[in-house]
Amino acid sequence: MREAGYYHVYNRGCNRQPIFLDDDSIYFVSKPVYLGAASAFSLRSNGYVYMTLQEDGVDLDIVEDKLKEIETRGELDKVKFIYTISNFHNPGGVTMSYEKRKRLVEIAEKYDVLIVEDDPYGDLRYEGEAIDPIFKIGGQERVLLLRTFSKILSPGLRLGIVIGNKNIIRKMVMAKQASDLCTPSLTQRLAARYLQRHNLLAQIKPTIALYREKKDLMLTELDRNFGDMNGFYWTKPEGGLFIWFTLPEGFDTGEMLELGKAENILFVPGQAFSLDNTCRNSMRLSFCLPPKEDIIEGVKRLKKVIVEYGKEKKLL
């Protein structure tokens, strides 16, 4: 059990004896990409390769083509990992299909690359069938699995779990010790006792029911408000916390943020999930926290902001 598992995975590369990332390392991330991972990675190396996110997970043709190209350059040993959020992507909302998971493992085996599977939301599935983790398909020598208690027990504990190759874990422990000795024993014990005494997955069933309703409501409201507008589309997550909402080219959600604030609504501009200043016409919507009436009102105000901005910029 480690604190904020995934952050520490990446940042361990900051040491003189890097566990993952050197200055000239290459790593694969989705586009859009989870902000926390991307900023930790890019502190160390800018050698990212983008994998476009599709409805059923990242585009694996890109991964295969790029790895082939890197192999031709003789730089395969610079590739440190392929990072992917398998379930209910942040911010994308989509889930990688079983077929893609299997193919990803095959590609990783072929080029002998580590997969880092980040799965913070997997237990928050509201509909559809659970899909085998990439970790299960590829095994612990090929896949490093990151989980967290933040979404199912308490974010304030800052506790995560890393499962994978023994040597990697050992090096992470050493780096963690040099960084801050260890994760607070108090929060570790709290979580451990809770798991001993309670069935965590049974406990979160009411939460899942509530989140499902809110997710469905937000999707319904998006459809009601934007269903007939050309060039507007959004992901339909089967779980997790986020919907990725894409507007026509020309919209700049970063610019729209202030307009939103004036209406007392908040979204995360797409740019925040990009390493190259793209994704400007998308935004991440969260449906978990607001009460249902606020979701209805919020999407209405979002439409107002979009129409206002779109007319001003002659986009609508």
Residues whose CB falls within 8 Å of the CB of residue 219, separated by 6 or more in sequence, listed in order: 234, 236, 243
CB 45, min distance to a copy of itself, A: 9
Name the token pair of 198.
């309670």
CB 190, min distance to a copy of itself, A: 8
Q: What is the C-alpha separation between 192 and 55, in angstroms, rounded?
A: 36
- Which residues of this chain interact with a copy of itself, rule CB under 8 A? 3-4, 7-8, 11, 14-16, 36, 39-40, 43-44, 154-159, 178-187, 189-190
CB 35, min distance to a copy of itself, A: 10
CB 286, min distance to a copy of itself, A: 16
Q: What is the C-alpha separation between 260 and 70, in angstroms, rounded?
A: 43
Strand partners, 283: 245, 269
Query: What DSSP designation does 84 have?
Result: E
Decide whether 7 or 233 has the Cβ nearer to a copy of itself: 7
Decide whether 57 or 160 has the Cβ nearer to a copy of itself: 160
Decide whether 4 or 96 has the Cβ nearer to a copy of itself: 4
CB 63, min distance to a copy of itself, A: 26
For 23, list phi and psi in degrees, rounded to 5. Answer: -60, -35
Q: What is the C-alpha separation between 144 and 241, in angstroms, rounded?
A: 23
Name the token pair of 16.
């003189």
**Is the separation of the CB atoms in 72 and 37 below 8 Å?**
no
CB 83, min distance to a copy of itself, A: 16
Decide whether 65 or 180 has the Cβ nearer to a copy of itself: 180
Decide whether 26 or 96 has the Cβ nearer to a copy of itself: 26
For residue 93, CA distances in Å to 239, 243, 271, 292, 312 come to: 8, 5, 16, 20, 30
Give me the sheet containing 242-246, strands edge to edge. Answer: 233-234, 242-246, 282-286, 268-269
Decide whether 178 or 201 has the Cβ nearer to a copy of itself: 178
